[in-house]
Amino acid sequence: MSRMAPKARSFGTEVAVATTARSTLSIFAHSRGVLSLLMEKVIIVGSGCAGLTAAIYAARANLSPLVLEGRQPGGQLSTTTLVENFPGFPDGIDGPQLIMNMHQQAETFGARFSYSEVTDFEPRNNHVRIKADDEWLETQALIVASGASARWLGLEDEQKLVGHGLTSCATCDGAFYKNVPVCVVGGGDSAAEEALFLTRFASKVYLIHRRDKLRASKIMGDRVFANKQIEPIWNTVVTKYVPDEKGEMRAVRLRNVNTNEERELPVACVFVAIGHEPNTKAYQGKLETDPDGYLITRHLAESKHPGVFIAGDVADRIYKQAVTAAGSGCAAAMDAEKYLSGLET
């Protein structure tokens, strides 16, 4: 009896443990089911071309995605002018119109939108938590399509002057500078495009580039050189913004990088177009990034965490085109859908 008792007790305990384990498992399975009901299925961070394409695909797959639009709804296309290279529009289409069309298309299929901005991110075993404004949201799958933001020169008083004769968006602010001289800083397609757009308003557009050759595509470069209202200033950097007594831009201080010669150039507005930085602050140290902060993907849209997918300029330092962003948004949504189906089986 004394030998049996422990065994019986032990047997009893095993049954009890097994029963407890089973009920714990079933509670766990049940609560996971309940949790997954309470959770979002797919959250998409970003509402540029990549995020909206992901939203169209996820919504058409009946996943009712929640799109967190962030600080710059519509992404970079919303601050651009005519887009001539998006397939399907032989006469081109305005960037903001293209974005509105995508937004409407995603909404038609059931995508939901919120203006909140993601500030933190925690991948868990079977789901992901993200902090949007001050609220933690839980989702089974996450698509990071947070894009890239305009880069600034890093000069004194720069952020104070934004909106007072300093901007990174000609489409938004160009019309305020009618019949006055302005300058664009940069030598890429954005700088060329901004300079050309500004000739509609400004009396003169200086294009200030740090080298003696544009980085912009030949077609854009040719258009710049053919426009007599644009004057390129080569091998030159801006070293200082010069505001007037009211705090509005009056001039820029320039330095020729070859001769070190300095001079002041009167301009009413400076349009900075020197590229973009990926919006990956919330993911640093949690998702893989390259030295410049771009997210690293595997197989086009996968991250190192199951259930977390990546699309668009946030991971693209090479192509950065609306159509490549759209393509990767599609891939991310299809991968997310496949991942979610796998969770259900």
Residue with tokens 């602010």: 173
| Residue among 51, 70, 165, 186 that touches ligand NAP (CB under 6 A) | 186
By CB under 6 A, the count of residues binding ligand NAP is 19
Residue 190 binds ligand NAP (CB under 6 A)? yes
- Report the length, in residues, of the chain: 345
Residue 193 binds ligand NAP (CB under 6 A)? yes
Cβ neighbours of residue 277 closer than 8 Å, sequence gap 6 or more: 148, 149, 151, 292, 293
- Window 69-98: contact mask with ligand NAP (x via CB under 6 A): ----------------x-------------
Of residues 91 through 150, those in contact with ligand NAP by CB under 6 A are none
Residue closest to 185 by CA, chosen among 163, 217, 211, 203: 211
In the complex, minimum distance from the CB of residue 107 to ligand NAP, in angstroms, rounded to a whole number: 27
In the complex, minimum distance from the CB of residue 248 to ligand NAP, in angstroms, rounded to a whole number: 23
* DSSP states of 169-219: -HHHHGGG-TTSEEEEE--SHHHHHHHHHHTTT-SEEEEE-SSSS--S-HH
In the complex, minimum distance from the CB of residue 276 to ligand NAP, in angstroms, rounded to a whole number: 6
Spatial contact of 294 and 287, defined as CB atoms under 8 Å apart? no
Q: Among this protein's residues, is 335 annotated catalytic? A: no
Q: Among this protein's residues, is 49 annotated catalytic? A: no
Residue 211 binds ligand NAP (CB under 6 A)? yes
Q: Among this protein's residues, is 169 annotated catalytic? A: yes
Choose one: 124-132, 210-218, 251-259, 293-301; the region binding ligand NAP (CB under 6 A).
210-218
* Residues 112, 66: Cα–Cα separation, whole Å: 5
Q: Which H or E run contains 87?
A: none
| Residue among 230, 252, 274, 301 that touches ligand NAP (CB under 6 A) | 274
Catalytic position from the list 120, 133, 172, 244: 172
Q: Taking each helix axis from N to C terminus, what angle separates 49-60 and 322-344, rounded to the nearest 10 degrees?
A: 40
Number of helical (H) and strand (E) elements in the chain, helices listed first: 8, 19
Residue 188 binds ligand NAP (CB under 6 A)? yes
Other beta carbons less than 10 A from residue 2's beta carbon = 5
Amino acid 67 reads V
Spatial contact of 94 and 83, defined as CB atoms under 8 Å apart? yes
* Residues 73, 277: Cα–Cα separation, whole Å: 16
- Window 225-264: contact mask with ligand NAP (x via CB under 6 A): ------------x---------------------------
DSSP 3-state assignment of 23?
helix
Q: Which H or E run contains 300?
A: none
* Residues 40, 59: Cα–Cα separation, whole Å: 13
Choose one: 19-27, 198-206, 207-215, 299-307; the region binding ligand NAP (CB under 6 A).
207-215
In the complex, minimum distance from the CB of residue 215 to ligand NAP, in angstroms, rounded to a whole number: 4
Task: Give residue 96's Cα distance to chain centre.
Answer: 15
Residue 215 binds ligand NAP (CB under 6 A)? yes
Give the residue closest to ligand NAP by C-beta.
188
Of residues 309 through 338, those in contact with ligand NAP by CB under 6 A are 320
Residue 210 binds ligand NAP (CB under 6 A)? yes
Amino acid 241 reads Y
Of residues 14 through 53, those in contact with ligand NAP by CB under 6 A are none
Choose one: 49-57, 132-140, 187-195, 227-235; the region binding ligand NAP (CB under 6 A).
187-195
Active site residues: 169, 172-173
Q: Which chain residues interact with ligand NAP by CB under 6 A? A: 85, 153, 185-191, 193, 210-211, 215, 237, 273-276, 320
